[in-house]
Structure 1
Amino acid sequence: MTKPQTDGAAMADDRTEALEALISRSVQDGRKPAPVDQWEPQNCRDIGLEIAADGTWTYKGSPITRQRMVQLFSSVLRKDTDGKTYLVTPVEKVLVNVADAHFMAVECASSGSGKTRVLTFRTNVGDLVEAGPDHPLRFEGAEDDGPLKPYLRVRGRLTALATRAVTYQLIEMAEPMTVGDVEVLALHSRGAVFPIAPMDRIEAMAE
């Protein structure tokens, strides 16, 4: 027998549904980010939203399984100068605790080669982003013996972490280059160069 919903649970559901409805009214096109940089609401609250390290959204510890809701929430994300991430609407900000990155880069397509290469990424919420001067790639982990973690700037201060499969794909496409006086393994995209790691570190990692 299904247990009746408690008043607290009902109130929590009402809160997320009300937030979803408010964001829907604020975003004219659910597939495009809203103009969150223009909104400076005074009200701010924490209702228990989190983005896990694998990109899963949770509400009070429970996964949010409705992809439409995740896409809608992601369209009004903003990371502020205080280092915190919020869902931003014209009337309020809602804190979102982020374990690692805001999105996952789940797919990468390459066109061209060498200096003319363009890398286009798809995120887990459907964003398409071309790496380049406005959307740089950075690689962490190579200097401290940790796992190699590529991050792509999606918009503002929001980043996407590449999945393991995409990370391997990027390494396979990378080429040895000289950046300054250092030999590095790096990638071109839209005329920009994105170093992965010094060649001696890459060789040590391969041993």
Structure 2
Amino acid sequence: MPMPPLPDLDAMSMDEVAAHIATRSPAPVERWNTSHCGDSEMRIASDGQWYHQGSPIGRKDMVRKFATILRREANGGYVLVNPGEKLDIAVDDAPFVAVKMKAEAGRIAFQTNVGDIVIAGPDHPLRFESKADGPHPYVRIRGGLDALIARPLYYDLANLAIEGDDTPPGVWSDGVFFPLEPA
């Protein structure tokens, strides 16, 4: 069965974004407690590209389908899980990349490279880490899974913070303040 087309975040109002989010029901991966079956021989690179046995997975619908059964384990590792099996998957940084952003009416929405849409707030916090190559901003997508916020969107967040008068600089979304500095 083909995946439904990705929603167009740019064409949606923030109320339409919230309505879209409310209709989504992710797979119950946290309830699937099957025994470990091995290694998927898959890897998610820091740019969001998925690989199998070292070759890029070119079918975007296949990647989107795999993303729906991705889970973060208590030990920090990642697995692909279904009711019958659990396979390790390597993740270089975060499993997703936030590639679109919309800021409107006191809320900031993000869309990932696999189509997930979230509104930053209490359930989807923003966080910032300092790394050798500069700041790395993240947004929580679901169940311990984060998206690295793409560099152009980070600059958009910085511009929003500059427009505000908060100290330290930061952004507000869904009633929560997120400082743009590492915790």
**TM-score, structure 1 length as denominator?**
0.73
State how far apart, in whole Å, the 1-side matches of 2:50 and 2:132 are.
29
Rate the CA distance shift 1:168–1:77 in 2: closer, same or farther, 3 A: same
Question: 1:105·1:123 contact (CA, 8 Å) conserved in 2?
Answer: yes
State how far apart, in whole Å, the 1-side matches of 2:30 and 2:96 are.
19
Q: CA deviation at 1:94?
A: 1.1
Q: CA deviation at 1:52?
A: 0.3
Alignment of 1:2-151 (within 5 A): 32-112=25-105, 117-141=106-130, 146-151=133-138
The higher relative CO (CA closer than 8 Å, separation ≥ 6) is in 2
Unmatched 5+ stretches in structure 1: 1-30, 178-182, 199-207
Q: CA deviation at 1:140?
A: 1.2
| Matching residue within 144, 153, 157 for 1:157 | 144
Give the corresponding residue for 2:155.
168
Greater Rg over alpha carbons, structure: 1
Helix, strand or coil at the partner of 2:83: coil
Total equivalences in the alignment = 158
State how far apart, in whole Å, the 1-side matches of 2:165 and 2:96 are.
29
Percentage identity across paired residues of the two chains: 44
Deviations 1:26-70 (A, max 9, x none): xxxxx7521101110013210310000100000011000000100
Which 4+ runs in 1 deviate beyond 3 A?
A: none
Greater fraction helix: 1
Q: CA deviation at 1:146?
A: 4.2
State how far apart, in whole Å, the 2-side matches of 1:184 and 1:146 are.
22
**TM-score, structure 2 length as denominator?**
0.82
Helix, strand or coil at the partner of 1:166: helix
State how far apart, in whole Å, the 2-side matches of 1:149 and 1:56 are.
18
Question: 1:32·1:75 contact (CA, 8 Å) conserved in 2?
Answer: no
Unmatched 5+ stretches in structure 2: 1-23
CA RMSD of aligned residues (A): 1.7
